[in-house]
């Protein structure tokens, strides 16, 4: 994730006001023995000079997720006419389906509304190096509309090292780094919050001082629906896997969180649990496909059943034809034809 920090200054200067940002993605909750939700789609980049961040915002995706799904894409100016995968298929985290679950490694927040058979997924920004967001099980202790921001001693120190002197308190309003809504966590002294932002470029990146940052439309929706006392679990699962009821086996691999400036998240070793070793060593799993998925780290579910053709192990996405200047409005099924063994999307 280290290279993404260098993108922050660029997006702070170049985001165009008025970009449409839609609300988070809702998915029907699968049965307890299933974890696969959603489907991927393909987006055709229009010739309107929009950045990857703008595309990510339109499709409710974090910036890192877009870069993992589309390696080599220019984040400043994706090539017009090129196709981008919109990674909206995922595996639910391997934990309790209750309240709010935040998976730091994938930079996503999952909200399970009580009594409703659905899960709502939000892209998030989390703590930067030196200000890591901790793993925890806690709850919402306070709901704060129009929050003020009082920087802590450590935050002041980090900014001072860059020659920036912070005010004692930043008043409420659109220029407040916490946005217009905040949910305080009961963990510790209550220093960690889920809040909005005055800079959307940080969504899907490690840029905060330890809090969980959402786009403003997303935090408003979450604020209005999440009651005080809601359970919040923060986990760190860069590698997820599942065996679906139909026997299909999936792995989903994200870049692990860097622990130092020298870490390369694309090559950093990912610790494997005993159950993951059992999954890999099963005669029903294709070890080669799993190794490829761990190396690739696409952030998307990959089908890894034994005997699965290597060039057809990802689900076929829908295709979106984006017209110049238009806002995404829907998806159309892709049409597939076989031409000398190649898959062609029309």
Catalytic positions are: 195, 211
Backbone angles phi, psi at 126, to 5 degrees: -135, -175
Cβ–Cβ < 8 Å for 122, 109: yes
Question: Of all helices (H) and strands (E), which one includes residue 3?
Answer: helix 2-5
Distance CA 45, CA 3 (A): 23
The full length of the chain comes to: 346
Given a contact cutoff of 8 angstroms between Cβ atoms, the answer to whether 60 and 23 are in contact is yes
Dist CA 248 CA 56 (whole Å): 29
Question: CA-to-CA distance for 263 and 270, rounded, in angstroms?
Answer: 12
Neighbouring CB atoms inside 10 A of 236's CB total 16
Separation between Cα atoms, residue 6 and residue 334, nearest integer Å: 36
| Measured distance CA(83)–CA(252) in Å, rounded | 21
């Amino acid at each position: 994730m280290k290279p993404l920090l260098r993108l922050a200054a660029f997006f702070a200067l170049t985001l165009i006001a008025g970009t449409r940002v839609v609300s988070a993605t809702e998915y029907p909750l699968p049965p307890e023995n299933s974890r696969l939700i959603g489907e991927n789609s393909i987006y055709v980049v229009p010739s309107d000079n929009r950045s990857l961040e703008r595309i990510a915002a339109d499709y409710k995706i974090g910036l890192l997720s877009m870069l993992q799904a589309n390696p080599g894409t220019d984040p400043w100016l994706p090539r017009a006419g090129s196709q981008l995968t919109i990674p909206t298929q995922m595996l639910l985290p391997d934990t309790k389906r209750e309240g709010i679950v935040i998976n730091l490694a994938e930079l996503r927040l999952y909200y399970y509304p009580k009594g409703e058979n659905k899960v709502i997924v939000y892209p998030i920004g989390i703590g930067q190096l030196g200000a890591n967001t901790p793993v925890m099980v806690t709850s919402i202790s306070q709901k704060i509309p129009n929050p003020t921001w009082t920087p802590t001693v450590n935050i002041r120190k980090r900014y001072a090292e860059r020659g920036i002197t912070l005010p004692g308190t930043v008043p409420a309003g659109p220029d407040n780094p916490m946005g217009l809504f905040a949910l305080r966590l009961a963990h510790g002294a209550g220093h960690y919050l889920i809040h909005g932002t005055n800079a959307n470029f940080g969504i899907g990146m490690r840029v905060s001082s330890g809090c969980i940052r959402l786009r403003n439309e997303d935090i408003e929706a979450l604020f209005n629906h999440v009651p005080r006392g809601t359970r919040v679990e923060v986990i760190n699962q860069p590698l997820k896997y599942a065996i679906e009821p139909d026997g299909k086996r999936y792995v989903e691999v994200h870049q692990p969180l860097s622990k130092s400036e020298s870490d390369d998240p694309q090559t950093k070793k990912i610790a494997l649990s005993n159950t993951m070793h059992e999954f890999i060593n099963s005669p029903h799993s294709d070890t080669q496909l799993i190794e490829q998925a761990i190396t690739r780290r696409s952030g998307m579910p990959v089908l890894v059943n034994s005997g699965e053709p290597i060039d057809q192990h990802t689900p076929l996405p829908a295709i979106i034809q984006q017209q110049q200047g238009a806002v995404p409005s829907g998806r159309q099924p892709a049409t597939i034809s076989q031409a000398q063994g190649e898959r062609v999307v029309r």
